[in-house]
Amino acid sequence: MALSELLGHPFKDADLLTRALTHRSAGSQHNERLEFLGDAIVNFLVAEKLFATWPSADEGALTRMRAELVRESSLAGIARGLSLGDRLLMGPGEVRSGGFRRESILSDALEALIGAIYLDAGMYTCRQVVMPLFEPLIARLDPKGDIGKDAKTRLQEWLQARQRSLPVYTLISESGEEHARTFHVTCRLDDGVAADGSGKSRRQAETRAAEAVLAQLRT
């Protein structure tokens, strides 16, 4: 299905859509300026929606929920739902390295797309097209929960509440080419509970390892 059909928005200016889907590796007419604009727009639209949905939530809760919705992995998930990776125009090097699957590239492309919709049709239409994409994520939010706290923070708080030692993160290995490294990390607790995690940065790998440890603790 064409992207315009998925979105329910036929572009008046087809060049805007093409630009939004063009990675910098494909040439000078790429999507980074649209990404800059889209980043600001999606933050505003999400903040507006949260403000209206939870009239009793304080600033801290609203800020955490917004951070959860606009973080890289959330935006990349929406991008995957639209099959943006398959629609991106990329240079041969990025295609070979799997750039169309990379969360940073997917999230940037979604923001560029949102910027393009805004320029093509204005804020009202942009809101109507974009916010339904976030509805499933918004439905899972709990302003009183651990929204916005990553797994490393949640694990640390769980341990501190029980007066236990903090986890130890150990880098096991790195793999891949220099521009597309993958880090492998182990997270270990003082009682021997441990789990591994991998990611495109050491921080991401540690976060995934912490999430795996939390899953063990919950069971």
Res. 95: pLDDT tops 70: yes
Confidence of residue 215 (pLDDT cuts 50, 70, 90): confident
Active site residue 39: yes
pLDDT for residue 176: 81
Where does the pLDDT of residue 98 fall: very low under 50, low under 70, confident under 90, or very high at 90 and above? Answer: confident
- Statement to judge: residues 126 and 204 lie in one domain: no
Q: Do the domain assignments include residue 64?
A: yes
Does 200 share its domain with 133?
Answer: no
- Structure confidence at residue 27 (pLDDT): 84
3-state secondary structure of 215: helix
Higher pLDDT, 205 or 100: 205
Q: What is the value of pTM for the model shown?
A: 0.70
Domain match, 83 and 103 both: yes
Co-location of 14 and 79 in the same domain: yes
Confirm whether residue 35 is marked as ligand binding.
Answer: yes
Say whether both 164 and 117 belong to one domain.
no
Domain boundary among 82, 108, 139: 139
pLDDT of res. 175: 87
Same domain, 37 and 83: yes
Verify that 25 and 101 share a domain, yes or no: yes
- What is the structure's pLDDT at 147? 62
Do the beta carbons of residue 185 and residue 162 sit within 8 Å? no
- DSSP for residue 56: T
Question: Which of 139, 172, 204 corresponds to the end of one domain?
Answer: 139
28 falls in which pLDDT band (50, 70, 90)?
confident
For residues 93 and 156, membership in a common domain is answered with no
Q: Known catalytic residue: 191?
A: no
In a domain, 145, yes or no: no
Q: Are residues 11 and 89 in the same domain?
A: yes
Q: Choosing from 94, 103, 111, 120, which is the catalytic residue?
A: 111
Question: Does one domain contain both 107 and 7?
Answer: yes
- 206 known ligand binder: no
Q: Are 199 and 152 in contact (CB under 8 A)?
A: no
Shared-domain flag, residues 11 and 54:
yes
128-157 tens-digit pLDDT: 999 999 999 998 887 776 565 678 988 998
Q: Is 144 domain-assigned?
A: no
Task: State whether 133 and 158 are in the same domain.
Answer: no
CB 200 within 8 A of CB 214: no
> What range defines the domain where residue 178 resides?
151-218
Residue 190 has pLDDT above 90, yes or no: yes
Joined together, the tokens standing for residue 79 give: 């991008």
Instruction: Please determine, for residue 173, whether its predicted confidence score (pLDDT) is greater than 90.
Output: yes
> Which pLDDT does position 178 carry in this prediction?
77
Q: Is 68 annotated as a binding residue?
A: no
Query: Domain containing 16 — which CATH number?
Result: 1.10.1520.10
Domain boundary among 139, 161, 181: 139
**Which pLDDT tens digit goes with each residue over 31-83?**
999 999 999 999 999 999 999 999 998 898 898 889 889 988 889 999 999 99
Is the pLDDT confidence value at 171 over 90?
A: yes
Distance CA 172, CA 64 (A): 32
- Pick the catalytic residue from 39, 103, 150, 206: 39
Q: According to DSSP H, which parts of 21-150 are helical?
A: 32-53, 59-70, 72-81, 84-87, 92-96, 103-121, 123-139
Number of domains in the chain: 2
Could you tell me the CATH number of the domain that includes residue 168?
A: 3.30.160.20
